[in-house]
Structure 1
Amino acid sequence: MLDIKWIRENPNALVEALKKRSWSQADAQSTVDEIVAGDEARRAHVLKLQQAQERRNAASKEIGKAMAAKDMDLAEKLKAEVGDIKSFIQDGEAEERRLDKALNDALAVIPNLPLDNVPVGKDENDNVELRKVGKVPVPANWTREHFDIGEGLGMMDFECAARLSGSRFTVLRGQLARLERALGQFMLDLHTTEHGYTEVQVPLLVRDDALFGTGNLPKFEEDLFFVPHGDGRLGLIPTSEVPLTNLVREEITAHEKLPLRFTSLTPCFRSEAGSAGRDTRGMLRQHQFYKVEMVSITDADSSIEEHERMTACAEDVLKRLDLPFRTVVLCTGDMGFGARRTHDIEVWLPGQKTYREISSCSVCGDFQARRMNARYKDKDGKGNLFIHTLNGSGVAVGRALIAVMENYQNEDGSITVPDVLRPYMGGLEKIEVR
């Protein structure tokens, strides 16, 4: 959530920022005008309430003086005035709550401001490549996509998954199931033993407040799954970014404890409502998938440097697996709702003959912190500032499985197990039909 004080002082800057995010001039201007007008109405109303409270306090003192002077007519008149003021304040406090909610609802759907060095563009075609790592092999005439490889091995079953749960689910069996588990364990071990992240086991079901804190609600409600709980509901996490980031919600963290770095391997659940028709075959885009998430909590001065560090940690996973990839910076029109700058890491898939996203690493500034009321003590310990948050995939396990299957496939339909995964596979060197 953006700072209303900043918006009040920089309305034109917000309009320009929204235009960079592909908003029309008319929509951006009308939205900002609505927010500024709502803020002015709220502040004017609060001022009236404050003045009424001051007058009530003064009149109460005057009643005492009038009664001491035995001026009962004046005392009764003042009592009537105080009664009217109390009624006004009672009604006015309800109106203040309504105005607060209206303003917060308007702010809740405004995206974060892109950093100045983010390229301006409309969609993925305007993203800017930062670097390529690894040599892209020339595909052989027998190169296949992951679903053909998995079904050929008898270890990837989409028909069975459809009978169980419908579309966009997968059943993995045997060594492919073990390979997916090995990938997740390898990533966790790398991030915790070499990259300085603390492993955290988190709930898979969270309250609306937690989803609001990371920006998933209210804007992306249709992309989430919910289950009834008591008189309300709980949401299945779309990524462990949600619980990991909310670990510091409504807390004040000591400056010397920063940065905090968390990682977790969890199932993730997304309805993929906005992706109808894309990647309908295979397991590239699923309702349920595993992902290793990285979350960093920093002070305001360290978040940009931490973003580069986090990106390097995600890239290191692919380097250890010896998978070709490229890293791009997303343009303003392709960037996520809560991000100020995002690096996408795209792994090469020989079966598709293209790069596909396997990790997004984003710096969010204090955008999520304002929604969570998460702060830290400044260096001198006197004031409280909003923390800065970052999140990134380290990496998507299912997509890593796809990348390993396609990049390590053999002409006979088998898959060579990457060296770094063999200790997790009981020394197995090749996955093949037995």
Structure 2
Amino acid sequence: MHDIRYIRENPEAFDAALKRRGVQGASVPILEADTLNRAVLSALQKAQADSNAIAKQIGHAMAQGDVGTANRLKAEAQALKNAPSAADQSEKDLTDLLAALPNLPVADVPDGADESGNIVVHTRGTIPAFDFSPREHADFGPALGLDFESAQAVAGARFAYLRGQIARLSRALGQFMIDVQTNEFDAQEVSPPLLVRDDAMFGTAQLPKFADDLFKTTDGRWLISTSEVSLTNLVREKILTEGELPLRFAALTPCFRMEAGAAGRDTRGLIRQHQFDKVEMVSITTPDQSDAEHERMTQAAETILDRLKLPYRRMLLCAGDMGFSAKKTYDLEVWLPGQALYREISSCSNCGDFQARRMNARYKLVGEKGTKPKNEFVHTLNGSALAVGRTLVAVMENYQQTDGSVVVPDVLIPYMGGLTKLVPAS
């Protein structure tokens, strides 16, 4: 959500920033709605004052036995009761306009309309050399326990059974990832709700814009598309102390996405599923620390790839390719030999106070001695460390052998009970 005071004072800068995200002239309808809302609120305040005065006049008229005057005043009082509903509507109209707009990119975010405008920050790891033609995971995975056929019969497209040794490798990856975040990067492990209310989805900006990409239950709740929703909303409607910050959370959860905007893309394999596991990181911090926290969070995600010895690159996303809530985003893209491409495996974003305004999440800022503390909005950040299914794909393809087996990365062997290789069924 945007600060209406900033828009009033800086309409041209606001429009220029949103233009970088493909939104034109947003300030005009917002300022018109804001002017109307302030006029309606002023009228409401007057109506409330008039209503109080009329109530006294009615009492006086009744005491004097002047029924006619009392009835006329009651009719006037009844008419004034419409003012609150008008104020509610004008405020909702303004909020709806603000809620529909993406966050503003910061200055060092490059211009660009799509992924072609993204910039490589650095590339790490060594792309493996094979003495055979490497295959995609969907081609050799079924012999290791990937079962797409049974999942199709039970749940439909974009689902998979992971069976036997491949299921164990997936579990090992998730456990390794959450252990790194909690043991080495100061994150509190959380097991959050997978079903949330409208307000939680609105708070992290999944609603209203992305409703078509979400699963909704018959009782009106939503299955989380990422545990960012549950974790970030831990601070909704709260006033924290500056000393409590930063807060860092991590969760390993299933995630659920309709993938409505990705029809026809990545229909084979595990790259784009309706249900997948992911380790999510969320940080809640002060404005002056959020940039450093963003770098720290991205390094925490990179640590997983480094330990797994997977080749990857960090991308700085351009304004047109960032997520709705982000003011700056780094994507990590892992090398997949079967496709001979880098593919996204993590996205780490600094959202500034954009989500905090939607959640009314604040902290008490203590100034110089003798000054009164004031409440400021926190900054929120989120990132994947990592998407388990895509990491499984990366391990399978980068560690594949000519006979269809997959070598287990050294760091995962303790999580695999000493197993060093996945062997295809004969």
Aligned to 2:141: 150
Q: Which amino acid aligns with 1:4?
A: I
2: CA distance between counterparts of 1:394 and 1:154?
25
Alignment of 1:297-376 (within 5 A): 297-376=284-363
In structure 2, relative to structure 1, the CA distance for the partners of 1:162 and 1:59 (3 Å cut) is closer
TM-score under structure 1 normalisation? Answer: 0.92
Alignment of 1:211-222 (within 5 A): 211-222=201-212
Q: Which amino acid aligns with 1:36?
A: L
> CA offset at residue 57 of structure 1?
4.1
> CA offset at residue 262 of structure 1?
0.2
2:396 to 390, 405, 418: 405
CA contact (8 A) 1:325 1:346 kept: yes
2: CA distance between counterparts of 1:323 and 1:146?
15
Q: CA deviation digits over 1:252-301, x for unaligned, max 9?
A: 11211100000000000000000011111111000000000000000111
In structure 2, relative to structure 1, the CA distance for the partners of 1:170 and 1:62 (3 Å cut) is closer
SS in structure 2 at match of 1:292 = strand
Does 2:103 match 1:112? yes
> CA offset at residue 65 of structure 1?
8.8
Aligned to 2:33: 38
1: CA distance between counterparts of 2:196 and 2:242?
27
Does 2:25 match 1:22? no
Does 2:270 match 1:283? yes
2: CA distance between counterparts of 1:420 and 1:62?
81
> CA offset at residue 7 of structure 1?
1.5
1: CA distance between counterparts of 2:141 and 2:279?
22
> CA offset at residue 242 of structure 1?
0.4
SS in structure 1 at match of 2:254 = strand
Identity percentage over the alignment?
56
2: CA distance between counterparts of 1:418 and 1:297?
33
Segments of 5+ residues of structure 1 without an aligned counterpart are none
Alignment of 1:76-115 (within 5 A): 82-83=73-74, 85-115=76-106
Q: Which amino acid aligns with 2:156?
A: G
1: CA distance between counterparts of 2:59 and 2:166?
84
TM-score under structure 2 normalisation? Answer: 0.94
> CA offset at residue 84 of structure 1?
5.1
Q: Which amino acid aligns with 2:4?
A: I
Aligned to 1:390: 381
Does 2:178 match 1:183? no
> CA offset at residue 67 of structure 1?
10
- More displaced stretch, 248-257 vs 310-319: 248-257
Q: Which amino acid aligns with 1:225?
A: F
Q: Which amino acid aligns with 2:18?
A: L
Aligned to 2:222: 235
Does 2:192 match 1:202? yes
1: CA distance between counterparts of 2:401 and 2:254?
30
Q: Which amino acid aligns with 2:153?
A: R
SS in structure 2 at match of 1:226 = coil
Aligned to 2:240: 253
> CA offset at residue 103 of structure 1?
1.3
1: CA distance between counterparts of 2:302 and 2:71?
72
Aligned to 1:51: 46
CA contact (8 A) 1:250 1:372 kept: yes
> CA offset at residue 137 of structure 1?
2.7
Q: Which amino acid aligns with 1:426?
A: G
- More displaced stretch, 6-15 vs 362-371: 6-15
In structure 2, relative to structure 1, the CA distance for the partners of 1:84 and 1:140 (3 Å cut) is farther
CA contact (8 A) 2:54 2:77 kept: no
1: CA distance between counterparts of 2:52 and 2:218?
48
2: CA distance between counterparts of 1:157 and 1:293?
26
> CA offset at residue 161 of structure 1?
0.9
2: CA distance between counterparts of 1:86 and 1:312?
63
2: CA distance between counterparts of 1:98 and 1:284?
43
> CA offset at residue 15 of structure 1?
1.7
Aligned to 1:165: 155
- More displaced stretch, 11-20 vs 333-342: 11-20
2: CA distance between counterparts of 1:398 and 1:66?
76
1: CA distance between counterparts of 2:138 and 2:54?
79
In structure 2, relative to structure 1, the CA distance for the partners of 1:204 and 1:139 (3 Å cut) is same
CA contact (8 A) 2:51 2:80 kept: no
1:244 to 215, 227, 231: 231
SS in structure 1 at match of 2:295 = helix
In structure 2, relative to structure 1, the CA distance for the partners of 1:106 and 1:143 (3 Å cut) is same
Q: CA deviation digits over 1:96-121, x for unaligned, max 9?
A: 11111111111111111111110010
2: CA distance between counterparts of 1:388 and 1:293?
17
SS in structure 1 at match of 2:251 = strand
CA contact (8 A) 1:239 1:268 kept: yes
Does 2:117 match 1:130? no
1: CA distance between counterparts of 2:325 and 2:213?
15
- More displaced stretch, 311-320 vs 52-61: 52-61
Q: CA deviation digits over 1:23-55, x for unaligned, max 9?
A: 3xxxx22x4322211111110111122223334
